[in-house]
Amino acid sequence: MLPSTPEYYCFLVLVFLAFWSLRRFRLACILLVCTANLFFYAKWGLIYLVLIPGAATGDFLIGRALGRSQNPLIRRLLISCSVLINIGLICSGRTGSLALPLSLSFYAFQALTYTIDIYRKDAQPSPGFFRYFASVSFFPTAIAGPITQVSSLIPQWNGKGVVLTGEEGSRALFLIGLGLTKKFLIADYLGNNLVNRVFDLPTLYSGGDVLVAVYAYAFQLYYDFSGYSDIAIGAGLLLGIRLPVNFNAPYRALNITDFWRRWHISFSNWLRDYLYFSLPGPRTRFMPYINLIVTMTIGGLWHGLSWTFLIWGLLHGVGLAGFRAWQRARKGRPRTESRISKFAASLLTFHFVLLAWIFFRAANVETALKILSQIADFRFSFSNTTPAFLLVLLVLLIAVAAHFVPRSWYDGGIIRFSRTPALIQSAALALLVLAIQRLAAVGAAPFIYSRF
């Protein structure tokens, strides 16, 4: 049940109506969300009715024990058990005949924020199991995040007699509509009409075709993933839950560190807070750089145990370490921040990220090298492209322009949408659905990050 299917929205509407009809009975609302979460996972397979409650019960009890125990040895043993449970979920069935239809990576990352925060004494155990379970298995975030600290979700179930304001409801609908637009009208269009065919058989295309496809993939991935995040945040808001922002115009980043403050923010924060800070401290001055490389390499391998993801992670790790070393070397020197220098820094950062995306997308290293070789030939003929290439190029240009619009335009769009009458909002969403049916007749491809 993907957020790109009508089935998901029928389910969301039913949960929404039941939730707010029970809003005066908070426990009933929480139990409803717990049931909805289980139903959502069960739609992917009945095995989840064993895995999710079992893992959640284990982590909840571990959290309670961590909250009571002061013995360092016992606490280390407890947190080790939680880490093993959740690493087991991440690894379970990702390959081979036992492959699960829905990866549990995002569930596991979210669950680990709970036990590790309690272990570090940054949070307290949940006052009740159902609040914990509703938070850790919250269905809008199940497929691809945003990864949210469970300790920040639990208090959001405490309100009594909560009312969904018209402004918040409009914001939720705007985000869901925006997410669907990103997914169907940009990401899937670029993927189906150019990116997939070029990355599958790069030697059939000229360097110009391949280069455009690489740029298109960068924006396909961004609009696919940020579209899912918008839908998840909107769905959460419809149930009175505020999820964190996950993207902030990442291709406008001025350096690689800035990029990771803007791209998949919840994941980069997780890597920093729960992996990087858990690695050995700076015994030597080189240790922080090594830890950055190790962290990003592990982050790359999480996407899949392949050389392409390893290289992608290494590239970002080396880039982050190199930028930190450059910052340290320039410490105390005057900085020039002219528009030209910012533009050059942004352009350089984007193309470094673009290079890494080639390995991220390619089926194997050989294919990635073929793509780089085709581009390096500098044969920019577009004779092998389909007649629809100009339309693909137009969609790509629209995608680029939309990414670089000022933030104030986006915020203003939400405000204007929320102030329009409900009838006009409904008409706008209906027109969006018609446009999707007209322009995306081949159906929706799975969200790219749903396989991770």
User: Crossing angle for the helix pair 166-180 and 407-419, nearest 10 degrees?
Assistant: 120
Comparing CA positions, the residue from 56, 57, 67 lying closest to residue 117 is 67
Determine if the peptide bond prior to 146 is cis (ω within 30°). yes
User: Crossing angle for the helix pair 48-68 and 72-91, nearest 10 degrees?
Assistant: 160
Catalytic residue chosen out of the listed positions 303, 316, 351, 403: 303
For 268, counting Cβ atoms within 10 Å of its Cβ (0-12 exposed, 13-18 middle, 19+ buried), the class is buried
Could you identify the residue written with the tokens 């001055």?
285
In the annotation, is 351 catalytic? no
Q: What are the start-end ranges of the H helices in 69-192?
A: 72-91, 105-119, 129-136, 150-153, 166-180, 188-190
Cβ neighbours around 37 below 10 Å, total: 25
User: In angstroms, what CA-CA distances link 209 with 23, 107, 204, 331?
Assistant: 54, 39, 9, 42
Q: What are the start-end ranges of the H helices in 204-336?
A: 207-238, 256-260, 265-270, 287-303, 307-329
Read off the amino acid at residue 131. R
How far is Cα 88 from Cα 20, in angstroms, rounded to an integer?
Answer: 36
Cβ–Cβ < 8 Å for 206, 381: yes
Which residues have a Cβ under 8 Å from the Cβ of 431 and sit 6 or more positions away?
A: none
Which residues have a Cβ under 8 Å from the Cβ of 355 and sit 6 or more positions away?
A: 315
**Phi, psi of 409, rounded to the nearest 5 degrees:** -65, -40
User: In angstroms, what CA-CA distances link 73 with 65, 122, 368?
Assistant: 13, 19, 47
User: In angstroms, what CA-CA distances link 443 with 4, 184, 189?
Assistant: 9, 9, 10
Cβ–Cβ < 8 Å for 214, 368: no
Comparing CA positions, the residue from 164, 304, 284 lying closest to residue 235 is 164
Calculate Rg over the CA atoms of the chain. 23
| Lookup: tokens for 54 | 């079992």
Question: Which residues are identified as catalytic?
Answer: 303
